């Protein structure tokens, strides 16, 4: 087994299909729990998951042998399948194509995790830009 040392942290964001408000509060917790389960199952480290009705944020670290695009494809696909087959929804749950993936410096990780955990408050107060402001 090769020996390596890495610290690969990602802030991932993806949206519901056509930004429809599919992630109503009643199903957010089951989706987050399912993503937590998938991360544990695949040996990904999940730091935070949260969102609002039309998109989701995930903070994760991966081994260097794991492809980020395949990871997101797996998380999106399996979570949509979970929603459509395990939750009693009155509609088909779909994620929009594409995603955002940002790398995170280890020193910024606590700030990003806090940002994700407080998504609902950021959107309620319209403080979305504050996370991305450059700090000295």
**Which domains are delineated in the chain?**
9-131 (3.30.70.1290)
First and final C-alpha spacing in the chain: 41
- Asked if residue 24 has pLDDT above 60, the reply is yes
- This prediction has a pTM of 0.87
Q: Which residues pair with 14 in a beta bridge?
A: 56
Return the closest-CA partner of residue 131 out of 67, 70, 71, 48: 48
Query: Alpha-carbon dihedral of residues 125, 29, 99, 132, nearest 10 degrees?
Result: 30
Write the pLDDT tens digit of every residue in 68-78: 999 999 999 99
- Asked if residue 134 has pLDDT above 60, the reply is no
User: How many angstroms separate the CA atoms of 42 and 62, rounded?
Assistant: 10
């Amino acid at each position: 087994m090769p020996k390596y040392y890495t610290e690969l942290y990602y802030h991932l964001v993806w949206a519901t299909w056509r930004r429809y408000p599919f992630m109503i509060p009643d199903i957010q917790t089951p989706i987050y729990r399912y993503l937590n389960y998938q991360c544990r199952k695949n040996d990904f480290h999940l730091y935070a998951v949260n969102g609002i009705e039309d998109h989701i944020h995930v903070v994760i670290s991966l081994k260097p042998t794991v492809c980020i695009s395949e990871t997101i494809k797996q998380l999106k696909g399996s979570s949509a399948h979970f929603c459509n087959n395990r939750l009693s929804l009155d509609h088909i749950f779909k994620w929009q194509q594409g995603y955002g993936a940002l790398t995170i410096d280890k020193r910024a990780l606590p700030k990003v995790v806090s940002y994700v955990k407080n998504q609902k408050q950021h959107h309620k107060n319209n403080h979305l830009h504050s996370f991305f402001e450059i700090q000295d």
